[in-house]
Structure 1
Amino acid sequence: MKLIIENIGMIRQAEIDLYSLCVIAGENDNGKSTIGKIIFCILKAVNRYKEDLRESKDYWINEKLNEIYFFLRTNLKIKNSSVTERMMLLRSHSFSEQISSEQWPVFDELINELIHTAELNTEQKEHVIQLHNKIKELVAQPENQRKAIENAFNKIFASEFDSSLLLQGASKGYIQLLDNNITLIHLEIDQHNGVTLLSEIEPIELKDATFIDSALVLNYHDVLIRSQTLLDIDKRRLGNLGMAYTTLHTKDLFDKLRNPILPNSLFDIDKTELLSKLHNIVNGEIAYDKNVRDFVFRRNQEDISIKNTASGIKVFGLLQILIANDFISKNSMLVFDEPENHLHPKWQLKLAEFLVSLAKNGIYILLSSHSPYMIEALKRYGDQAGLAKKSRFFLAENRCIKNEDRLGEIFQVLAEPFEVFRKMDAEVLRGE
């Protein structure tokens, strides 16, 4: 697959082929993280728009149904057992569960019975009939797939980028995902960060993405468990008002660390071998302990508070939990933003070797890095694993990324500090 973006986030122009192992290097403020966030958002939006479509329609059906209930409860004069029974049935279902359009025929009949058995005046009866007809229209309304997809992208991008999706100063932006010159997605972003779909949506092989930008997410259980994203507001959970906000990728990662998913045939990587490798690296494992409602590091049958463990252990612990919970699988992508942070060079090499083993198992790896140790290790281990033709090293500069392997230039950029040291040494020698 190929990703093309223009005037998005921190990037003016980027075109990259998504290989099994993709590495993006470059100085800060050149858009390295933007690529991973865009792919993360695309996969989230494409895989949730059908859910949004159904939720939106069912929500308004339920709202109108509840409106009928409140109106009848206020205006009913007759209180015989038949009417009372029907009112209780209407209340018990409309307030205990979301009524779907498939369930509507039962309530259609129930409302008809209430209209005809309850003593309502002409004006009251007409109001209930109008509400009833509105629900019928909602039930019969064809699903607008294109609009649902645009809504999904708007909500996902807003939850991840807030109001900063479009490059500052640009009037329009574009995001395009292709596979062998077939357009899978083509989006236009306007000045108000609104998303317009410019093509039909084609199926995408990748089913999910996980974005990691800090292992310290493990330290903030008490905060993140009460946090929400802008998606939660759209779900109209009034009880969440006043709660802390976080980015979508942070909340997504936190939820995946706490909750394993049900077994699925897609998850067919050899978890045992991978988990064994991670256990050997840190001589233990990180897990979520439901009893203490927090993450712990287990070593030699002893639980240690996650807050008292080294940041390097947390990096490998994140991978342990994600693999154990079946969120790192074939046809998924792991996006790692500067994973070398807090890692000793020796462990950078171990992490690079492990990420290569994931790529070899069919997991797509997209990584940004400043570390020459990490980048060279990924190159060497990748070549040893037979991934030379499935790896690509990109350079982000001047807020652009060209679709070229630029490993040599990356090392030149990363070597610039050493050139400064060389000049300093030369000055010292001249002074002597």
Structure 2
Amino acid sequence: MNDLLFKIEDFGPIHKLNMNLSKINVIAGINGSGKSTASKILYSFLISISPEGINFYNDNLTDYYRNIRSHLWRFDENKQYSELQDILRKTFDKIEIDDEESSKSIFKKLLEVNSEEIKSENFENLIKSSEKYFELKKSPAKRRSEIFKQMISLEFEDNTSFRNYHSKLNLSTNDNSLDFSVNFPFEESSITFHKEKFSINDVFYIETPYIFDLENKRAVGLKKYNTNQNWLYHQKSLLNRLYSTIDHQEFDAMQTKLLSPGEHMELIDKMIDGGFDINKISKQITYKTSDGEYLIRNTASGIKTIGILKTLLNSKIDTNSFLILDEPEVHLHPEWQLEIAKIIVLLARDKKIHFYINSHSPQFIEAIEVFSEYYGIADETNFYLSTLDENVNKYVFNNVERQEISTIYKNLGNPYNILNEFRGKNLSKHM
């Protein structure tokens, strides 16, 4: 994968962001400085140009047809079902059609064979929305723009505020194999995308080990109309992949060695000697080792964090995949922070997986700095710091050169300064 150029202007708390994304990208900053906002925008871009984005689009298209079928059967009880079923069969067959005129003729026929009662406002809107999806299918660029628009709305809970934004977003490459620009409000967007020159496989956004607290996959549908506001799309997508991998894999393979050999795999196996399984009776995810089986809610958060990564690796994440990690150090013991940093560096080096990592831990960031140099990918590791621009009261993301990385440690080290101040006060009490 070519290095990506990622830009944001005036979106939410972010004033300016200009990043050259290489194999490992560490974004430092205090809470509320726009790190997660940038992550969600990047995730939306990447999903839009990935196979999952196309699957998401096709799922929505299929949902439209199911709704059409529901409306037809609801309003046309007196019609001959054989005629309706024949039309619906042809409709489903056309999901992958490339002939625009044939696609439109289906919708015309759907309207012609049904009574005036069908032509209610809701049904007409459904047909129009479906036609829009067919139009998008004929234009890959427009389709990807629509996917991005929907991803943004699914990733940000308060997306009504976007109407007031005057933002510019861009994801591109130096060789012009990708140039994806979006302006807010959603009045303008453009995309140049050559999939034969630029490709991306899996995209995952991991922010919490408590993703397993929702233990029933059926409660998290991935459809865009899902009304569960507590779960964002990237959470649902991750949970779906984890369940799918755990459900279709023999536990013995997870209990011993990971499916892909390598130094990073050996490190993970040393940290946790088991893996996730689905209990055949309760259908709940459990953590299973050679010593026994434990409910996932009773498993340490650090084990969950490493276990999620282990499961994804066993799902055969490969070259040209992208992992977005939001503060992975939060639920890890300090020693495990060093180990996970080492694993990330080895995965970037050996499997060519790209990482975008938000962090406010000086120790974790320093571990990435040290290990990336030791394992020979210092030139492919970038550091950024989000700082407040007091003139606009928004945050600017600046590149931090390796020789100036102490700037990050000073920025994040203020709590230590506060503690040292109180240490001094404690000493003065005893003098």
1-side partners of 2:242 and 2:184: how far apart? Answer: 32
Counterpart position of 1:236:
none
Which residue among 46, 64, 70 is the counterpart of 1:43?
Answer: 46
AA matched with 1:404 = V
| 1:329 corresponds to 2:315 | no
Counterpart position of 1:401:
397
Does the CA contact (< 8 Å) of 1:187 and 1:198 recur in 2?
Answer: yes
2-side partners of 1:429 and 1:301: how far apart? Answer: 49
| 1:226 corresponds to 2:219 | yes
SS in 2 for 1:393: strand
Counterpart position of 2:392:
none
1-side partners of 2:27 and 2:159: how far apart? Answer: 21
> What is the TM-score when the length of structure 2 is the normalising length?
0.76
Counterpart position of 2:94:
100
Shift in alpha-carbon separation, 1:289–1:184, aligned structure 2, 3 A:
farther
Does the CA contact (< 8 Å) of 1:12 and 1:167 recur in 2?
Answer: no
> What is the TM-score when the length of structure 1 is the normalising length?
0.76
1-side partners of 2:70 and 2:326: how far apart? Answer: 46
- Alpha-carbon distance, 1:65 to partner: 7.8
Counterpart position of 1:366:
356
Shift in alpha-carbon separation, 1:195–1:286, aligned structure 2, 3 A:
farther
AA matched with 1:400 = V
Deviating more after overlay: 46-55 vs 293-302: 46-55
2-side partners of 1:20 and 1:165: how far apart? Answer: 34
- Alpha-carbon distance, 1:322 to partner: 0.8
Shift in alpha-carbon separation, 1:200–1:28, aligned structure 2, 3 A:
same
Q: Superposed, which structure 2 residues align to 1:284-323 within 5 Å?
A: 284-289=274-279, 291-323=281-313
Q: Cα deviation per residue 1:390-419 (whole Å; 9 max; x = unaligned)?
A: 111111111110133352101112322222
Shift in alpha-carbon separation, 1:290–1:174, aligned structure 2, 3 A:
farther
Does the CA contact (< 8 Å) of 1:61 and 1:101 recur in 2?
Answer: no
| 1:179 corresponds to 2:173 | yes
SS in 2 for 1:378: helix
Shift in alpha-carbon separation, 1:321–1:102, aligned structure 2, 3 A:
closer
Q: Cα deviation per residue 1:178-236 (whole Å; 9 max; x = unaligned)?
A: 2116352111121xxx36313434444333311111001122213x641346x431xxx
Which ranges of structure 2 fall in alignment gaps of 5 or more residues? 250-257, 389-394
AA matched with 1:176 = N
Does the CA contact (< 8 Å) of 2:25 and 2:356 recur in 1?
Answer: yes
Counterpart position of 2:241:
256
SS in 1 for 2:245: coil
Deviating more after overlay: 51-60 vs 19-28: 51-60
- Alpha-carbon distance, 1:259 to partner: 0.8
1-side partners of 2:245 and 2:187: how far apart? Answer: 32
1-side partners of 2:323 and 2:53: how far apart? Answer: 22
Q: Cα deviation per residue 1:153-197 (whole Å; 9 max; x = unaligned)?
A: 1111101113348679x641111112116352111121xxx3631
AA matched with 1:314 = K
| 1:20 corresponds to 2:23 | yes
SS in 2 for 1:396: strand
Which residue among 380, 386, 400 is the counterpart of 2:376?
Answer: 386
AA matched with 1:409 = T
Work out the number of aligned pairs and report it. 386
Counterpart position of 1:271:
260
Shift in alpha-carbon separation, 1:61–1:20, aligned structure 2, 3 A:
closer
Which residue among 326, 341, 363 is the counterpart of 2:330?
Answer: 341
| 1:282 corresponds to 2:272 | yes
Counterpart position of 2:254:
none
Which residue among 190, 196, 209 is the counterpart of 1:198?
Answer: 190
1-side partners of 2:276 and 2:75: how far apart? Answer: 54
Does the CA contact (< 8 Å) of 2:49 and 2:200 recur in 1?
Answer: no
Counterpart position of 1:207:
201
| 1:246 corresponds to 2:240 | no
- Alpha-carbon distance, 1:63 to partner: 6.9
- Alpha-carbon distance, 1:344 to partner: 1.2
1-side partners of 2:159 and 2:68: how far apart? Answer: 36
Which ranges of structure 1 fall in alignment gaps of 5 or more residues? 76-83, 234-239, 264-268
SS in 1 for 2:22: coil
SS in 2 for 1:216: helix
SS in 1 for 2:39: helix
SS in 2 for 1:226: helix
Counterpart position of 1:417:
415
* Structure showing greater Rg: 1
Shift in alpha-carbon separation, 1:59–1:309, aligned structure 2, 3 A:
closer
AA matched with 1:337 = D
